[in-house]
Structure 1
Amino acid sequence: MQSQSYYVPAQSPWPIVGAIAMFFIAVGAGLTVMQLETADLSGVVILSLGVLILLYMLFGWFRHVIQESDKGLYSLQMDRSFKQGMSWFIFSEVMFFFAFFGALFYARVFSVPWLGGASNNQMTNEVLWPSFESAWPLLNTPAGEVTQAMPWYGLPLINTVILLTSSVTLHVAHKAIEKNNRMQLTAFLSVTVLLGFVFLGLQVEEYIHAYEALNLTLQSGIYGNTFYLLTGFHGMHVTIGALLLGIVLIRVVKGHFTEQKHFAFQAAAWYWHFVDVVWVCLFVFVYVM
């Protein structure tokens, strides 16, 4: 029997555990970037510790929420709160990427032409970087290093097809759960999770190619910085989305969810479709244009 009162859980240790994890991730990521040209691995160790703590927090918190749901502690108002919370969370993620795309557009539309002498700023060009040519992507750095742009074909195009395909398979799985077709649900959700991890594997291969063959590194000026900033954060979101769908898949195998009550599946699907839309924008504005 589902409770009609608004369930208020007891004090939980998971928020502070998550805060500690994010602290280690932030410090570790910063040190890792600073130590790229050295043999010091302390940043990698701290970053890895933060990721492990974060995974521990996620699985522990998810377990508690699942147990509370299975006990019937959540009312209809609680379900609406979950939907509103997930909606606002995705909106915050939209603003997160909006800021980074804004930085990319500002650099391309304003900063690069200005540095190249546009809008009567020829003196600025002569003083700051006399040999600078206003073009995108910027393949020359002030230090004289030359890099190459990542082409849109090859691995980026393959990854685009993979993510778009994963959205289709996830949609089929969503329709299957609404019809209580457990076999089709399990099969297509499994394919979606697999495609997510294949995407991540190919992105790692793309980064290796960028560093070794194209000399495209974090030291490659504004182009390299915006490239890794956008694709890296997107890869992090794909990782989170794949983990969420993986947890949902485990619950599906255990017989959780019904045709009417499957918000955990729905929330993970919302997040995954959002990640796919971001990648399409990223593919167009970072790789193609």
Structure 2
Amino acid sequence: MADTHQKNHDYHIIAPSPWPFLSSVGAFVLAIGGIAYMRYLNAGELHLFGINFVTPWLFFIGIAIILYCMYGWWSDTIREGKEGHHTRVVSIHLRYGMIMFIASEVMFFVAWFWAFFDASLFPNEVHQVMRAEFTGGQWPPKGMEVLDPLHLPLYNTVILLLSGTTLTWAHHALLHNDRKGLVTGLAFTVVLGVLFSFVQAYEYIHAPFAFKDSVYGATFFMATGFHGFHVLVGTIFLAVCLIRSIRGDFTPKNHFGLEAAAWYWHFVDVVWLFLFFSIYVWGSWGAPIAVH
């Protein structure tokens, strides 16, 4: 009888899980909560089913549900891997999933680059009269002071390139079963990620323009801000990998969690290089540099 229940395939049939449903609920609450929060900030109303949902708490409840689901779902995935369920076929599917996720992120940033280049390449387009008023028919907009691309932006570029190097060092150390090199490389990468976020926060605080000032400010902060958010997520991702490395969870043959974090981080590196050269360098060319 025991042989009839023996697994004779490479696929993993997971047990019934609450996480997909709870994640959907959390995403729905977060979406409605985001709208309600914005209405709350503008002293508006949001009536659904005869109830006024204007409150900031709904937004934070949605975030809490999603964070709880992320922790629970990924904990189950880690446990399944330790139990040997991540066979060759399952591992391939996990990699396909991460590749598709990064591909979707690429298209996400394409939208912000598209907005920036549309505004910068055609600032005086005839059928967009309002945009011509905001830009003065030139790019950067007339009278706009910009950030020095060879100051903090270049500093952050060096930081991210160094972080990619230390992460590659950590990965190769794991492949050679060098635990000390793995932990040290990941620790350096996390520190560099935190340093990048602090430098960008300082840059935002001292920026000579605001989000609402012009289309330049809007496209600048949307593109670089969402990249900064991805750096923050990637830093948390790598910090979790650092904790797991200290616990000894990764082996030279079984370390997809670290591999996925490395893919994500290198993607963040590449996006920043595009941001640096297109928005900071080319996009601000010819404009006066703000002096602090």
TM-score w.r.t. length of structure 1 = 0.81
| CA–CA distance in structure 1, aligned partners of residues 93 and 203 of structure 2 | 40
Q: What's the CA shift for 1:15?
A: 2.7
| Per-residue CA distance 1:94-141 (angstroms, 9 max, x = gap) | 11111221121111223x1215xxxxx7xx75x98679622112256x
Mapped pair 1:83 → 2:95: yes
Cα distance in 1 for partners of 2:93, 2:135 equals 53
* Per-residue deviation, residues 175-207 of structure 1 (Å, max 9, x unmatched): 101000000110010110111112112222222
Where do 1:1-289 residues align within 5 Å? 4-26=9-31, 47-110=59-122, 112-115=123-126, 125=129, 133-138=136-141, 148-210=145-207, 214=208, 216-289=209-282
Paired-residue identity, %: 39
Preserved CA contact (<8 Å) 1:219 1:225: yes
Matches of 2:59 and 2:202, distance apart in 1: 21
Q: Aligned letter for 2:10?
A: S
Q: Where in structure 2 are there 5+ consecutive unaligned residues?
A: 1-6, 44-53, 283-292
Structure 1 residue ranges without an equivalent (≥5)? 116-120, 141-146
Deviations 1:49-95 (A, max 9, x none): 44443332222211110111111122211011011111111111111
Alpha-carbon deviations, 1:199-249, whole Å to 9, x = none? Answer: 112222222212xxx2x2221221111111111111121121111111111
Secondary structure of 1:114 counterpart = coil
What letter is aligned with 1:240?
Answer: V
Q: Which residue of 2 aligns with 1:143?
A: none
> Alpha carbons of 1:86 and 1:44: their partners in 2 closer, same or farther (altered >3 Å)?
same
After superposition, the Cα gap between the structure-2 partners of 1:34 and 1:227, relative to the gap in structure 1 and judged at 3 Å, is farther
Q: Number of paired residues?
A: 266
